[in-house]
């Protein structure tokens, strides 16, 4: 029987179960509103969630599902860590931070914890990392885990790469390079796009037309291909100077990404500019600086912050992609994108040697974790700032 038929059958079965369950609930509670007014979709959702949990438990005990077990263990571990982190800061610190942590959802605590850990790793990379990022040690391709019986080495807990560099050290230095550069790039993109966008919204007329059309032109070219093109030109200008090339990369990605920020800032700005308090400020004779930074910016903070979280992740992924394609952060500097590219082929071992296959996943996981963490924090900030309005 084909897979599709099984899927259809499973859904029909769950539907029947949902209907029966709702009916049973109605009979058992003698038509309590909870069951009486329950739409079928909700009943189905309960059954589906139950099925997912059962499936998860079944998967846990399957011998081959190593990665799933790791993922669940990691998830539970981080949740516990975030919970303890929040608990500690509810009782330590100033009255304001205590209040902040008391109203904080667990997801936000998780996000903040991860960002703090990344920040510490990035700032103190030199002190924390056991080896240098480009230091070539003895053995190549040592398996992670540090268990000699499995082909690991306790000196290199996360193993070594294909030319014998310690992966743990490179991951830590990667935080410094990738995250630091992404952060600076996003900041520049926001300053550029945000101020120009608000300016276009406030002044309007020909300036708005000029800026908007220029941005349209830039946006018309696919981002990654455009940055690849510019990076190729920049690498000629940089003439082998690696630090200079990195600066060029930051500027190129910042300018390309600032077009998205410009669009958002302009759209939000035009909504705010028509407000009476902006008119009052204009009639008072205020200058452009006051109107943009004191009247418009505070009111546009919520959507801009949300965009900052997203944009940061995208910039980060763009840098990783550029490095993956060979024009981003230059070797031997450690960078997560490059690490994924270099170790990528090992993923083919996943079926029979899961430990070997984890080599590229660690850098990929680092990217994923930071992306999720940043978005959790941004979501929470958004919720807080929109709650203030009401």
Partner 1 sequence: MSRLLTISDIYLEGRSEEVWQPIINGVSLTLDKGEVLGLIGESGAGKSTLGLAAMGFVRDGVRIKSGTVNFDGTELTTASADTKRALLGKRIAYVAQSAAASFNPAHRLIDQHIEAPVQHRVRSRSESIRDGMDLYARLRLPDPDHIGFRYPHQVSGGQLQRAMTAMAMACRPDLIIFDEPTTALDVTTQIEVLAAIREIVEQFGTAAIYITHDLAVVAQMADRIKVLLTGDEVEEADTRTMLSTPKEDYTKSLWAVRGFTRPVKPPVPAGQIPLVSIKGVTAAYGKVKVLEDVSFDIPPGRTVAVVGESGSGKSTAARCITGLLPPVEGQILFDGAPLPPNYKKRSKDQLRQVQMIYQMADTALNPRMSIGQIIARPVQFYMGLRGSALQNRVNDLLNQIELPPEQYAHRLPSELSGGQKQRVGIARALAAEPRMIICDEVTSALDQLVAEGILRLLAKLQDELGLAYMFITHDLATVRAIADSVVVMKDGRVVEQGTKEEVFNPPHHPYTDLLLSSVPEMDPDWLDNLLSSRGVDNIGDAAADKISVES
Residues within the interface to partner 1 (CB under 8 A): 33, 36-37, 275-277, 279-280, 282-286, 295, 298-299, 301, 388-390
Give the angle subtended at the CA of 314 by the CAs of 134 and 379, to the nearest 5°. 115
Q: Of 75 and 277, which has the nearer Cβ to partner 1? A: 277
How much of the chain is in helix, strand and coil states, percent to nearest 5? 80, 0, 20
Q: Of 115 and 301, which has the nearer Cβ to partner 1? A: 301
Asked if residue 376 lies in contact with residue 108, where contact means CB atoms within 8 angstroms, the answer is yes
Phi-psi region of 324 (alpha: psi -120 to 50; beta: other; left: phi over 0): alpha
DSSP one-letter code for 175: I
Q: Please state the closest distance from residue 300 (CB atom) to partner 1, in A.
A: 10
Query: Which of 239, 192, 248 has its CA nearest to residue 218?
Result: 192
What does the DSSP assignment read for 343-358?
HGGGGGGTTT-HHHHH
Q: Of 127 and 283, which has the nearer Cβ to partner 1? A: 283
Q: Of 172 and 302, which has the nearer Cβ to partner 1? A: 302
Q: Of 154 and 285, which has the nearer Cβ to partner 1? A: 285
Count CB neighbours of 258 within 10 A: 26
The SS3 of residue 153 is strand
Q: Please state the closest distance from residue 42 (CB atom) to partner 1, in A.
A: 12
The partner residues of 166 in beta bridges, in order of sequence, read 160
Q: Please state the closest distance from residue 275 (CB atom) to partner 1, in A.
A: 5
Q: Of 24 and 217, which has the nearer Cβ to partner 1? A: 24
Q: Please state the closest distance from residue 45 (CB atom) to partner 1, in A.
A: 17
Q: Please state the closest distance from residue 237 (CB atom) to partner 1, in A.
A: 43
Residues 6+ apart with CB under 8 A from 118: 175, 179, 370, 373
The partner residues of 160 in beta bridges, in order of sequence, read 166
Q: Please state the closest distance from residue 40 (CB atom) to partner 1, in A.
A: 12
In the block, tokens 């990217």 appear at: 367
Which spans in 92-149 are helix H?
Answer: 95-102, 106-123, 125-128
Q: Please state the closest distance from residue 350 (CB atom) to partner 1, in A.
A: 47
Q: Please state the closest distance from residue 100 (CB atom) to partner 1, in A.
A: 16
Q: Please state the closest distance from residue 104 (CB atom) to partner 1, in A.
A: 14
Q: Of 147 and 279, which has the nearer Cβ to partner 1? A: 279
Asked if residue 85 lies in contact with residue 78, where contact means CB atoms within 8 angstroms, the answer is no
Q: Of 6 and 277, which has the nearer Cβ to partner 1? A: 277
Helix axes 297-325, 223-238, angle to 10 degrees: 70
* Token pair in block for residue 130: 């056991």
Residues 6+ apart with CB under 8 A from 142: 151, 152, 153, 156, 159, 160
> What gap in Å lies between CA 34 and CA 31, rounded to an integer?
8
Q: Of 33 and 41, which has the nearer Cβ to partner 1? A: 33
Q: Of 216 and 279, which has the nearer Cβ to partner 1? A: 279
Asked if residue 195 lies in contact with residue 292, where contact means CB atoms within 8 angstroms, the answer is yes
Q: Please state the closest distance from residue 23 (CB atom) to partner 1, in A.
A: 15
Q: Of 107 and 385, which has the nearer Cβ to partner 1? A: 385
Query: Which of 171, 123, 121 has its CA nearest to residue 144?
Result: 171
Q: Please state the closest distance from residue 82 (CB atom) to partner 1, in A.
A: 22
């Amino acid at each position: 029987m084909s897979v599709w038929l099984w899927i259809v059958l499973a859904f029909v079965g769950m539907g029947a179960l949902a209907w029966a369950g709702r009916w049973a609930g109605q009979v058992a509670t003698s038509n309590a509103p909870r069951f009486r007014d329950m739409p079928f979709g909700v009943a189905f959702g309960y059954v589906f969630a139950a099925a997912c949990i059962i499936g998860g438990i079944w998967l846990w005990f399957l011998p081959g599902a190593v990665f799933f077990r790791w993922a669940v263990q990691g998830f539970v571990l981080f949740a516990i860590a975030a919970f303890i982190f929040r608990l500690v800061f509810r009782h330590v610190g100033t009255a304001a931070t205590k209040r902040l942590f008391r109203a904080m959802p667990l997801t936000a605590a998780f996000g903040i914890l991860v960002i703090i850990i990344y920040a510490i790793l990035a700032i103190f990379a030199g002190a924390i990392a056991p080896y240098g990022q480009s230091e070539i040690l003895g053995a190549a391709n040592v398996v992670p885990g540090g268990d000699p019986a499995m082909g690991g080495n306790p000196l290199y807990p996360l193993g070594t790469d294909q030319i014998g560099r310690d992966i743990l050290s490179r991951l830590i230095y990667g935080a410094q390079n990738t995250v630091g550069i992404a952060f600076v790039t996003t900041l520049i993109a926001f300053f550029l796009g945000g101020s120009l966008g608000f300016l276009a919204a406030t002044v309007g007329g020909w300036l708005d037309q000029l800026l908007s059309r220029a941005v349209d032109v830039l946006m018309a070219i696919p981002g990654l291909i455009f940055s690849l093109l510019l990076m190729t030109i920049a690498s000629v200008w940089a003439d082998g100077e690696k630090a200079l090339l990195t600066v060029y990369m930051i500027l190129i990605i910042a300018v390309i990404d600032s077009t998205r920020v410009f669009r958002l800032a302009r759209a939000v700005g035009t909504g705010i500019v028509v407000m009476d308090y902006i008119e009052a400020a204009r009639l008072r004779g205020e200058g452009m600086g006051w109107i943009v930074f004191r009247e418009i910016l505070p009111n546009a903070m919520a959507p801009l912050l949300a965009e900052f979280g997203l944009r940061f992740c995208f910039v980060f992924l763009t840098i990783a992609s550029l490095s993956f394609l060979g024009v981003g952060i230059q070797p031997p500097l450690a960078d997560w994108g490059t690490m994924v590219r270099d170790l990528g082929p090992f993923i083919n071992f996943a079926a029979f040697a899961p430990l070997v296959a984890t080599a590229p996943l660690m850098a990929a996981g680092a990217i994923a974790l930071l992306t999720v963490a940043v978005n959790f924090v941004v979501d929470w900030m958004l919720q807080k700032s929109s709650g203030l309005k009401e």
